[in-house]
Structure 1
């Protein structure tokens, strides 16, 4: 009897003092997986999407359902970015920890101020990917990551109190180093301020605002809808009158429309394909490497 109780005590102690690697996180997008790894490097992190996928449109696959079912925390963008697939995953996973309103469901977009809000714009399937709350691609402004990392750290401390001190320390170190990097990036990208760009979708709207660029044209006739010949022909006259710094597409988008515009502009304007998020969230310093890539690509277009 004593031996049985001793074994039970050992099991219970192990459950209470479970290592951080036993804490499982479901990240809807790679940027949130990368940020979670900064705060809890030993956690098990599953990522639902990758940089070559449009995060608006993901299939609720059985593997994702199983991952969400086992998650202690889900970190997603929110602002309706995942509205086409996350609710189905939540329902099928049946995990009370990661339902809306639970401590284990964290929406990054709810932690910062959104741009381009369009109240009352939702609910029309023919209107495209319009988000009434505002532009959900908040990670494209590195300043947003300071506030999001702070709020995410607070949530993690609540969920994993045994790791609270370490999480606070990691977040503080991240914020200090990140603020310094933001200053360096802003100084390097200063020549971009005031430049115009044409882009497909508003995936980089926060990047433009941060760096002081202006998007003068959208290759999509409606958000999330493929470019049409008539729409592109209309854009051509605008771009001929005001040649932009570059025509920008996200890495997951079809570049044919951009290439056509470049050819019609006699290749005087470059086509840039920017990754919409980090390529591999498991890479050390993945977030910083992504911003470096964005700024380097834009600066190359400026100096060509």
Structure 2
């Protein structure tokens, strides 16, 4: 009954939103950037972002400032599939905002709109298993094809939240869709040299990027998802990869680079150049124009440079 009441209140709240303003709470920078891309430039948007590029989105503190921001939100845009399970439920409870409770129209989860990679039915609930997501890998924003689908769903949600801006949002969404389709095709063509190349990475932050580009992740620096690399695990990876070194060792900017630096250094000592790439796992500046496109451009540039360098070994 409480859940049904929350949904009813949320629907009513959507109906009485002011025509000129919308307050959005984005759990991750990529969703803040996507919201800005879809929202009309001449309409007021109050946008709060809970995390930044140097933070692990699995693990942040439910700070009072975030509680206040979620309390004022008309719409929350998050990843879902358990990515924010360690902190978002606490924020929702403490904020007491019926509009952004699970099941309410103001609570948008990107992972409900696209198929996910690597689902693990029955997983979870084990504190020793690490960051294992039963529904699948939640880091879908690293695939521009899935991001395009999420953009279409988010546009519909924004239209429901701000009916006075519905036509303008539709126009922005159409423009984004056409531009994104063109960019995705160009990126795919540009990335052709990467297909079949192998990488060693830490965690599955870029799993969708590998899947889209045809890169092959042959090793994970973490012994279990979300658990810090150990000396024994790294040594076993080194021994296994000596015969066929990867194109690069990849860690996300929010991760400790020491394990990746060690593995890269071991290959260097053996006379094989395997660069360490420290890549942003989300957009560094969600307020920047074309933030999402710039992020993909930067990822591709780094990977293609590593591929080019490897070709000269």
Q: Which residue of 1 aligns with 2:75?
A: 73
> In 2, distance between residues paired with 1:300 and 1:128?
32
Separation of aligned partners in 2, 1:111 and 1:125? 28
Q: CA deviation at 1:263?
A: 1.3
- CA-to-aligned-CA distance 1:28-73 (integer Å, 9 cap, x gap): 0000000000111431110000000000001000000000000000
Once the two structures are superposed, residues 147-181 of structure 1 have per-residue CA deviations (whole angstroms, 9 ceiling, x without a partner) of 10111111111111111000011000000000000
CA contact (8 A) 1:75 1:108 kept: yes
Tell me the SS of whatever aligns to 2:307. Answer: helix
Quick one: higher RCO (CA 8 Å, sep 6+), 1 or 2?
2
- Alpha carbons 1:17, 1:162 under 8 Å: kept: no
Unaligned runs of 5+ in 1: 1-14
Counterparts of 1:216 and 1:113, CA distance in 2: 23
CA distance in 1, matches of 2:66, 2:99: 16
For residues 28 and 277 of structure 1, the distance between their equivalents in structure 2, rounded to whole angstroms, comes to 12
Aligned ranges 1:220-239 → 2 under 5 Å? 220-239=222-241
Partner of 2:18: 18
Aligned length: 289
Cα drift, residue 18 of structure 1:
3.3
1:33 aligns to 2:32 (yes or no)? yes
Answer with 36-45 or 292-301: which moved more.
36-45
1:17, distance to aligned residue in structure 2 (A) = 8.3
TM-score, normalised on structure 2? 0.91
State the match for 2:180 in structure 1: 178
Structure 1 residue runs of 4+, over 2 Å off?
Answer: 15-20
Task: Say which one has the larger Rg.
Answer: 1
Q: Distance in 1 between matches of 2:228 and 2:16?
A: 51
Structure 1 contact 140–204 (Cα < 8 Å) conserved: yes
Alignment of 1:53-202 (within 5 A): 53-202=55-204
Match of 2:308 in 1: 303
Question: Which position in structure 2 is the counterpart of 1:8?
Answer: none
**Contact 2:22-2:45 at 8 Å conserved across structures:** yes
Q: Secondary structure at the match of 2:242?
A: helix
* Structural RMSD (CA): 1.2
C-alpha deviations, 1:166-218, integer Å up to 9, x for none? 00110000000000000110011000000000000000000000000010000
